[in-house]
Every structure is written in structure tokens, then in C-alpha cells.
Amino acid sequence: MNRRHFLATALAATLSPIAAQTGRAPRIILRSSWQTVNIGDIAHTPGVLALLEKHLPEVEVRLWPSKVDNGVDEMLMKRFPKLIILKREELNQAFEECDFLLHGSGPSLVAQKDVVKWSEATGKPYGVYGITVGAPGASATQPDPDSAIAKTVDVLSGARFVFFRDTVSMALVKSLGCTSPIMEFGPDGAFATDLRDDEKALAFLNEHGLEEGKFLCCIGRYRITPYWKMKPGYKYDEAKHARNMEMREHDLGPLRQAIIEVVKQTEMKVLLCPEDSSQMEINKENFYDKLPEDVKAKVVWKSTYWLTGEALSTYVRSAGLFGAEMHSPIMCIGNGIPAIVCRWTEQTSKGLMWRDIGLGEWLFNMDEESEIPGIVPAVVAMAKDPAAAKAKALKGQAVVHERQRLTMEIVGKSAKAAMG
């Protein structure tokens, strides 16, 4: 029996007696599900749920969501039929009955106020699973005690554990004096997402002549997400729009050239697909409409948004993915599919997780001009040698799996300890 299997078996053994002694299993509130306009933000929740199901099967989980509209609640319940999705009026009862609050993955301590609410109302413990901390350009200088980052560090200090999805965030928080007893690298929960909608995916692939293993996926995005195009009542920001327009050719031109070279140099086709609901337009205007006609014949533009299950069912049938997004690559690597990430400072430090899992060769900083010429050769190499790319993806996946096992061991011990 290897060490990892021993730890998993030992953890299950420790949880079972607790359930027998108390007449029930530990109860965890998962605070997650931030929005539904982005398949990556959707993926945080099913990813952490899948990890809890796999590593802590006896634990009862109640989801405290921000948003589960647009069919996301049905998708979650289909995959996790035992899941309890809390309504607002059920929170007080859940606070009384549950033992531990787990803040799910996200771009920050998204539900910081709710973590404080839980702690002050119940006195019960909490932990944080797979977040980034720090705005672009954040430094390790001691902040004003009343600043937002100082307040975040204070809340994190009260956590039983904090797992950061990139080690840059971890180093920043440690330098700012966080005193949580456990602070470690812990992959974004979306790596574990296993949702599927094979029926929709296969119908689309068949309609457009995309054969399994014979196409790459590509996702374009702007520097700053144009939420004013996706969320009713979200105020248009002229400065952010101007920044997007200023940088779009700089950022998306190399990806467009990669599409062209893949089509010209290989037998692969390319699928232009979205991660958020603004990107169908971005992909069309910046990629598809600007391609030579002979290249367009082997490029498919997805004109409609999709949910996480259909997207992942598509990704796992591809030979790999490249682009300027983060969570589609995360879901790809989590399922052993190659993925190249292009990033810039507006996206915070989250993209640097690619270095943390050993995939630094597939990470390109668009703010560093010397790195940009490497994008096209990397994408073409992925297309020309799918076996080598797959092997590299599996190495990254193995690093993720190791950290998932170890972090879930800590979650389980914390939930058990919270029962007294």
C-alpha cells in the first residue's frame, strides 16, 4: 500500500467512527458558485464537490451559492443528487446544523463578508480552498490596517487552513503577516470538474465535422472582462473598453497567427469557443473574420454560449486548447488534455499556477515582449505531436492530483475536529 492510498484509507477510517459515535457524518457548508456567465466560475463548484465526493464520501455538503441560475442548479443536481442547495431562508438552520464552512475557489476571498458572518454567528471554524489574493501589482509592503487587503489577511488568519491556487498569492499573504496555521499551494477546484453533456457536444462536433483528436480549441478574450455586455445593469466603463481596444491586436494577433499556422502546417482543425458569454463576439471579430479564406475552411466558430458540461465534453475530445483564458485550460489539464495559457497583468497572478504544476513552458506573459514569439511554435508543436503534448499534460495533472489528495486530507481532519 503506497503512502497516498494509506492516507486516504486512514482518513476514511477516522471519519467513520465519528459518524458512528454522533449518529451522523460531518456537515460542511460550501460557500461557492459566484456567477453563471463564465463556465470557469461555474466549474469552481462542481470541482470542489467532486473532490469532496471522492476523498470524503461520508461528509454531508450543503452549497451556499451566489448564483445557480441559467440551468446551473439542474446541472449540479444531476451530477450530485445528494447535494443540498441552500435557499436564503434555510441559512439560519444550516448555521446551526453544520460544523464547518469551506470557502470555495475563486479570484479572491469572494465571500469574505459571509465568512465573517459565519464565524461571528456560530463561532465554528472555516477554511479556504484554492483562491488568488492580490490585485495586479500588489506588493508585499505592510498595508494600512483599514485597507481591503489587510482585512482579507485578518479573515484568512482566522482560517483553519488557506490553500492558494498560485504560490505568488501565498507568498504575498505570508509577507503581510497572515497567521493561519496551514498555508499551502492548493489547486483551483475547477481542476477536478468532471461534468459532461456528451449529447450536446457530439451533436455540435458532428454537425461541424470536428473529429475526436483532430482539432484544437482556441479562446480569445480582452484584457478586462466587459461585464457590461453580460450583466443587466452593469455600468459601461469607457476607460476599460479603451484599454481593451488598445491591446486587442497585441494580445490576440499572435493567437490568430497560431490558428493560421496550425491549419497550414497540420491536418488539425480549430474550434473557436467561449469561456464567458462575451467571447463569441470576440472570437468572431478578432479571429474568424480576419482569417484568410482558405484557412476559414478548417476553422469553426461557435456562435452560442455553452455550459460547463458541454464545454468539457468538447475539450476532452480535442487534441488540446490554447488561448487567453484560465479555467478552460484548468479543466483541460484536470482531464489530461494539453493546454497553453497566455496571460497579462490585468488577470492577477492566477496564471502563474502553470509554473506551480510544472507547465511553465506552456505559459506566456503577454506583457513580456520576449515571450510572445514563442506562442505560435508552442501551439504548432502541440498540433504536430499530440502524444508528446498529452504526456506533458499528464505530468501536470499528476502534480494536481497529489495536491488534491493532501489538501482534502486536511479538509477532512478539520471537519472531523469541528464536531468536537
User: CATH number of the domain that 173 lies in?
Assistant: 3.40.50.2000
What is the pLDDT, as a whole number, of residue 143?
Answer: 64
Element housing 364 (H / E): strand 363-365
User: Is 29 inside any structural domain?
Assistant: yes
**Residues 284, 157 share a domain:** no
**Residues 165, 27 share a domain:** yes
**Residues 176, 44 share a domain:** yes
pLDDT in tens, the chain (420 residues): 343 333 334 444 444 444 444 578 999 999 999 999 999 999 999 999 999 999 999 999 999 999 999 999 999 999 999 999 999 999 999 999 999 999 999 999 999 999 999 999 999 999 999 999 985 444 545 667 778 999 999 999 999 999 999 999 999 999 999 999 999 999 999 999 999 999 999 999 999 999 999 999 999 999 999 999 999 999 999 999 999 999 999 999 999 999 999 999 999 999 999 999 999 999 999 999 999 999 999 999 999 999 999 999 999 999 999 999 999 999 999 999 999 999 999 999 999 999 999 999 999 999 999 999 999 999 999 999 999 999 999 999 999 999 999 999 999 999 999 997
**Residues 122, 20 share a domain:** yes
Query: What domain count does the chain have?
Result: 2
CB atoms within 10 A of CB 312: 28
Cα(344)–Cα(351) distance, rounded to whole angstroms? 9
What is the pLDDT, as a whole number, of residue 22?
Answer: 56
User: Is 389 inside any structural domain?
Assistant: no
Category of 320 on φ-ψ map: left (φ > 0), alpha (ψ -120 to 50) or beta: left
User: Is 173 inside any structural domain?
Assistant: yes
User: Is 55 inside any structural domain?
Assistant: yes
Cell 482543425, located at residue: 269
User: Is 394 inside any structural domain?
Assistant: no
Contacts of 243 (CB under 8 A, 6+ apart): 223, 224, 346
| Residues 90, 96, 99, 103, CA torsion sign | positive
**Residues 164, 25 share a domain:** yes
**Residues 57, 155 share a domain:** yes
**Residues 48, 145 share a domain:** yes
What is the pLDDT, as a whole number, of residue 146?
Answer: 74
Cα(287)–Cα(289) distance, rounded to whole angstroms? 6
Helical axes 386-418 vs 3-22, angle rounded to 10°? 30
- DSSP strand E in 44-99: where? 60-65, 84-85
What is the pLDDT, as a whole number, of residue 187?
Answer: 97
**Residues 9, 31 share a domain:** yes
Cα(177)–Cα(111) distance, rounded to whole angstroms? 21
The pTM score is 0.92
Residue 333 C-alpha cell reads as 489539464
**Residues 351, 207 share a domain:** yes
Q: Residue 201: name the closest of 106, 276, 124, 304 by CA.
A: 304
**Residues 255, 169 share a domain:** no
Name the residue range of residue 297's domain: 198-384
Residue 117 C-alpha cell reads as 458572518
Contacts of 99 (CB under 8 A, 6+ apart): 26, 27, 28, 124, 415, 418, 419
**Residues 313, 220 share a domain:** yes
Residue 67 CB-density burial (10 A; 0-12 exposed, 13-18 middle, 19+ buried): middle
What is the pLDDT, as a whole number, of residue 393?
Answer: 98
Residue 57 CB-density burial (10 A; 0-12 exposed, 13-18 middle, 19+ buried): exposed
What is the pLDDT, as a whole number, of residue 312?
Answer: 98
User: Is 108 inside any structural domain?
Assistant: yes
Q: CB of 300 within 8 A of CB of 270?
A: yes
Task: Give Dmax over CA atoms of the chain in angstroms.
Answer: 70
User: Is 271 inside any structural domain?
Assistant: yes
User: Is 390 inside any structural domain?
Assistant: no
**Residues 280, 257 share a domain:** yes
